[in-house]
Amino acid sequence: MRPQEWRRFPVLTLLALLWVVPAMSQDAAGCKDHPLLTRIPDFLIDDCETSEFDSHRFYDRHENEVVFEGRKTTLGYCLRDGGRERSFLEIWRNYANAITTAGGSVEYRTAHSGNLHLRRDGREFWAWLNDAGGGCFTLVIVEQQAMVQEVTAREMLDTLRRDGVVALSITFETNKAVIRPESQGLIEQVAAMLTTESNLVVSIEGHTDDTGTPAHNRLLSQQRAEAVVAALVGRGIAAGRLSATGWGQEKPVADNRTEEGRARNRRVEIVRR
């Protein structure tokens, strides 16, 4: 998001609830506070990372998993030398009070971490606060936004001809077979590929990470593959050219022990038949 767009976002009520201090020179190079939530005094940014499109795993108040995607910022804060120590409870309540006063909610809380949610002016944010120990804590903020579609129908076809399979990051609502709006552009490109290559017959194959039971994941992946088939049929592709298969967690392509690996395993593959 462009800096001028952030300046238009009304965050003053949030920031007024926290002590606002300028970034100190000891911050890690290139790091700065997120515009939505500023820092606690006496803390420096030890490390940071920003991705224009990524995902993070949150939990809502009913302890349901929410995999939220968008612009992701990760900030590691540590107490500066000589600074006043604060319990994680004090740190947590500062951020929680800021979010709830702005109209958001506390979604999930443990002794050492918690999730916050804010929907405001057409924008949606999730935040994860975690006690990292040793006077440090981690703040992850994800603002929902659509991924910029970069894979074209021609690139898909070239990959399919070369490898016989192309993996796509088609995303769905959490634990459902409902295709998210940000993946509609990708569905359009698949339909364009199949329209151009009118003799191509493919299998739409769904895959999940290992969260949940194998039986549930297999069923969910089957339903998601069928949802993609239905979306393609709705765009004029003959149903006879398409089949749906759900593999669940049986065929991982990455390590399920990491968030990045789980994200890669949640995929839809187009397989040439």
pLDDT tens profile 117-148: 998 877 899 999 999 999 999 999 999 875 55
Which of 146, 125, 132 has its CA nearest to residue 58?
A: 125
Pick 17 or 225 by higher pLDDT: 225
Supply 215's token pair: 């039986």
Amino acid, single-letter form, for residue 256:
N
Q: What is the average pLDDT across 45-58?
A: 89
Using a pLDDT cut of 70, give the percent of the chain over it: 89
Give 164-180 pLDDT, tens digit per residue: 999 988 888 888 999 98
Which residues lie below 8 Å from residue 28, measured CB to CB, with a gap of 6+?
Answer: 44, 45, 46, 47, 48
Q: Where in the chain is the domain with CATH 3.30.1330.60?
A: 153-272
DSSP label of 10: -
pLDDT at 66 over 80: yes
Q: Which two tokens stand for residue 168?
A: 């796509």
Nearest-angstrom CA–CA distance, 146 and 24: 33
Which residues 6+ apart lie within 8 Å of 197 measured at CB?
157
H helix runs in the chain, sequence order? 3-8, 12-15, 88-101, 153-163, 184-196, 214-233, 259-265
Residue 18 has pLDDT above 50, yes or no: no
* Superfamily the domain 153-272 falls into: OmpA-like domain (3.30.1330.60)
Cα 165 to Cα 58, 217, 270, distances in angstroms: 31, 21, 6
Spatial contact of 141 and 125, defined as CB atoms under 8 Å apart: yes
Please tell me the predicted confidence (pLDDT) of residue 23: 39
> Bridge partners of 70?
54, 144
Q: Which residue spans within the chain are E strands per DSSP?
A: 43-59, 65-79, 105-109, 113-120, 123-133, 136-144, 165-168, 202-207, 242-248, 267-272
How does residue 16 score in pLDDT terms, banded at 50, 70 and 90?
very low
Q: Which pLDDT value is given to residue 148?
A: 53
- pLDDT at residue 219, rounded to an integer: 97
The upper half-sphere exposure of residue 118, i.e. CA atoms within 13 Å in the direction of its Cβ, equals 26
Minimum mean pLDDT range among 5-9, 40-44, 56-60: 5-9
Q: Which of 19-33, 172-186, 229-243 has the highest mean pLDDT?
A: 229-243
Q: What gap in Å lies between CA 160 and CA 137, rounded to an integer?
A: 45
The residues, ordered by sequence, that sit 6+ positions from 199 with a Cβ below 8 Å of its Cβ are none
Q: Is the pLDDT of residue 9 over 60?
A: no
Give 151's pLDDT tier (boundaries 50, 70, 90): low
| Residue 3 predicted with pLDDT over 50 | no
Q: Considering the entire predicted model, what is its pTM? A: 0.54
Residue 129's pLDDT is: 97
At 249, the pLDDT band (50, 70, 90 cuts) reads very high
